[in-house]
Amino acid sequence: MDERFAATAWSTWLSGAPVLEDAAAVFDCRVSRSTRVGTHDILFCEVLALRHRESDSALVYFDRNYHGLPYA
């Protein structure tokens, strides 16, 4: 497993989860509740910390495809 994380820089945030340093956006969350719906679990989370780079464009998944959104 360590070789998966060796390719780039990582750190650890409040929850203890690994955080990719070069990510355009990072959310560090604590699961406050989970609900099973059919074959899926829905997680309700409390955001402990977040970081984003204003210079990056957003990427969304819609209609079975990824689409870039320009920074406004």
2-69: CATH number: 2.30.110.10
Q: Report pLDDT digits (tens) over 8-51.
A: 899 999 899 888 888 888 999 999 999 999 999 999 999 999 99
Domain ranges of the chain: 2-69
Q: Is the pTM of this model over 0.75?
A: no
Q: Torsion angle of alpha carbons 5, 20, 17, 26, nearest 10°?
A: -160
Q: What angle do CA 47, 26, 63 make, to 5 degrees?
A: 100
The pLDDT value recorded for residue 12 is: 92
Gap between the Cα atoms of 30 and 44, Å rounded: 9
The pLDDT value recorded for residue 72 is: 60
Gap between the Cα atoms of 18 and 8, Å rounded: 12
**Helix (H/G/I), strand (E/B), else coil: 9:** coil
